[in-house]
Amino acid sequence: MANIPQRLRAAARLITGKVDPVRHVKMDPVVRPTGTSTVARKTVTVDSAMQLSTVWACIRLISETVATLPLVLYETSDDGQRMVAMNDPLHPLLLRAPNADNTAVEFWEGVTISLCLFGNAYARKEMMGARLIALTPLAADKMAVSRNTQGALVYRYTGKEAKGEYREDQIFHVRGFGGAGDTGLSPIAFARQTIGTAIATEELAGSIFANGARPSGILTSEQLLKPDQRQQLRENIVEPFIGSEKAGGIMVLEAGLKFQTVTMTPEDSQFLQTRAFQVEEICRWFRVPPFMVGHTEKSTSWGSGLEQQLIAFLTFALGPYLRRIEQAVQRSLIAPEARARLKPEFKVEGLLRTDSAARAGFYTVMVQNGIMTRNEVRRLENLPPMDGGDTLTVQSQNVPLGKQPQE
Q: Where are the alpha helices (DSSP H) in 52-146?
A: 53-67, 90-95, 104-118
Residue 402's pLDDT is 61
188 neighbors 349 (Cβ within 8 angstroms): no
Q: What are phi and psi of 57, to 5 degrees?
A: -65, -40
Residues 6+ apart with CB under 8 A from 63: 109, 110, 112, 113, 116
Structure confidence at residue 182 (pLDDT): 92
Amino acid at 138: L
Q: What is the pLDDT of residue 342?
A: 96
pLDDT at 96 (0 to 100) = 95
- Determine the pLDDT at residue 22: 42
Give the model's pLDDT for residue 134. Answer: 97
Q: Is 348 helix (H, G, I), strand (E, B) or coil?
A: helix
- For 175, phi and psi rounded to 5 degrees? -95, 140
Contact (Cβ atoms closer than 8 angstroms) between residue 293 and residue 281: no
State the sign of the Cα–Cα–Cα–Cα dihedral 332, 333, 336, 341: negative
Q: Which residues of the chain have pLDDT under 50?
A: 1-5, 7-8, 10-12, 14-34, 213, 244, 268
H helix or E strand, kind and range, residue 6: helix 6-16
The pLDDT assigned to 302 comes to 52
- Residues linked to residue 155 through DSSP beta bridges, in sequence order: 145, 166
Question: What are the distances in angstroms from CA 370 to CA 36, 361, 366, 374?
Answer: 57, 14, 6, 10
Q: What's the confidence (pLDDT) of residue 26?
A: 39
348 and 73 in contact (C-beta within 8 Å)? no
Q: Tens of pLDDT along 150-166?
A: 999 999 999 988 899 99
Q: Would the pTM of this model clear 0.75, i.e. be above it?
A: no
Strand pairing partners for 146? 154
Beta bridge mates, 134 = 126
